[in-house]
Structure 1
Amino acid sequence: MSKLKAFLAKNTIKVADGLPVVHSTRAYNLGQLRQSNMLQVTECDVFKTEELNYFFVGRPAYKLDSDGQGSPWEYPCCFIFDIKVLSDIRRIFPFDSGAFAGGRYPSYIQRMPLEEFTAETSTETPGKIIGAFFGSPWNYFRSKPVNEDDFISEHNLGAFDAEVRGLHRLSGDSGSDKFDDRRMTIEIQNGSPIDLVADNPLAVIAPSEYFDDADFRKQVTETWGAEPISYPVHTLSVQGAYSSIYDRVLDFYQRNGLLP
């Protein structure tokens, strides 16, 4: 059993309310998605023998490697789902496993084995992680962890709980741009495609030009049953778009009572 699994099994863990999950991709891929109505699994860079879909709990934390301004198809788009559509969960990590595998986290946690941070593959697990490390979904969304001394005391942690204490330190560590909001955004790996017709997304966020296409907008609202949410790109760099996306995700959650 991993150190994180053992920790989350403690009876001191308070389970927080859950949040939706977010899948992010390049807007260019909307062309294929509108044809297939399927969010396909793809070969994983970290777990190389598997094909997976990646989701982050609550936050649109996946980042595209692109600088400067781009064309609309180079910008990110996001699909927001109820976590219940994930019927084939393979792994849950408390952070971006790709960033960990790429050595982008600080040494106090990077030197530990990735396997110690696997969690139970249950839809209840994110609520346990949020409750333990952040106290509430709102604090999790803002990356505001619970006080370190209170965390250690409440869960009776000592020197041999380095992995759990390292995670808590990581959750509030904003000392480097190398580990941004992905540093403690819960990652869920799902092993099956998502049917966008049967397992309707709650919302689709994309550059505004895509929703200027009446046929695509109709497909999002009527075929996929999702709310279309646009953001402008004419004044934004690709990296700068994430602030606009975060604002729209937060607004969607608050309007729909999804951020307790």
Structure 2
Amino acid sequence: MKQGEKRSPRPGKTAFATLVRASAPAPVTMPMTHVTDAYRFRDIMAGGALAPAPCRIFGSELVYLFYGRPAYRATAEMESNGSDAYWPICFVLEPGAVTPARIYPFDSGAFHHGRFKAFMHHQMIKEDFELEIDPSSPGRLLRLFWRDEKSYFNADGASDFVPDPIDFETKAYRDLISYRGRGNFDERGSAIEIQSEAPVTLKGNTIAVILPSEFATDAIVARIEQDFGALALPFDVVRRHGPTEAVGQIYTIVRDLLGGAKKDGRGKCW
């Protein structure tokens, strides 16, 4: 156990991680994403890095990222109050930008708060699903449970993998990501989470920054393109829309980026 980390009721089981490790590697490694709001974006731009922030669940300071999907909602649960400080901004990062501290197959916070309990045995803990800290782990998981990178991105198109009858963690995860009914969770239920304990330097590690057009000033675009070596990809925002509506536009831009829409081909996955 790392210093400051909150203790789990027992050590995590390893069957799920062992299954993923034994599966075939993916042919491509997807970028990572970090979504924040404009208020925090100002500090990120000033510091040139994603800085770890206190996490109550793990009792330490962490940077949260997602593999391949811009899935995190910085303030999506909040109703719009008209402040553009809540508008979301997405950093798309090179696959090797961080050394992970932990990798989970879903949003660990949602698990912690019981949002997946309908699919789990009541004695399962999030550590039962923690993957090995290996650069290939996210891709192996993706190719085991999804047809390909595009189907994973769209959260639509599970593979035909059938778990062993008593591999209960794997069956629970398969049922979670295949569920199409109403629930108190969104696509983060099947988004691969990557945690970093160290700051993530943006220079040389950033593929693109997706931001509202209002913030794409000459100075900010120059910082993104010249200092970070990344693409600045603006989108228009409708006033009084909440953050959730803007996340849909971010998904469209990231989907195009991963599909190879940009001339330099950076971030292309299909």
1:5 counterpart = 2:1? no
Q: Is the 8 A contact 1:39 1:196 kept in 2?
A: yes
Corresponding residue of 2:5: none
Matches of 2:236 and 2:83, distance apart in 1: 11
Question: Where do 5+ consecutive residues of structure 1 fail to align?
Answer: none
1:1-260 superposed matches below 5 A: 2-10=14-22, 13-16=23-26, 17-48=28-59, 50-63=60-73, 64=75, 65-68=77-80, 70-87=82-99, 89-109=100-120, 111=122, 112-147=124-159, 150-152=160-162, 157-158=164-165, 160-197=166-203, 199-211=204-216, 213-235=217-239, 236-254=241-259, 255=261, 256=265, 258-260=268-270
Could you say which structure has the higher helix fraction? Answer: 1
Runs of 4+ in structure 1 over 6 Å off: none
**Residue type of the alignment partner of 2:118:** S
Shift of 1:75: 1.2
Shift of 1:106: 4.0
TM-score (norm 2): 0.87
TM-score (norm 1): 0.90
Matches of 1:9 and 1:222, distance apart in 2: 39
Q: Structure 1 residues 146, 33: CA separation in 2 closer, same or farther (over 3 Å shift)?
A: closer
What SS is found at the alignment partner of 2:35?
strand
Matches of 2:20 and 2:247, distance apart in 1: 31
Deviates more, 1:218-227 or 1:60-69: 60-69
Q: Give the total of aligned pairs.
A: 248
Question: Where do 5+ consecutive residues of structure 2 fail to align?
Answer: 1-12
Q: Deviations along 1:135-176, whole A, 9 cap, x unmatched?
A: 3101111112435xx311xx5x11x21110111111111312
Matches of 1:237 and 1:195, distance apart in 2: 29
Give the CA RMSD over aligned residues.
1.7
Shift of 1:110: 6.6
Matches of 1:78 and 1:180, distance apart in 2: 18
Shift of 1:71: 2.4
What SS is found at the alignment partner of 1:239?
helix
Q: Work out the percentage of aligned pairs sharing the same amino acid.
A: 30
Matches of 1:22 and 1:177, distance apart in 2: 24
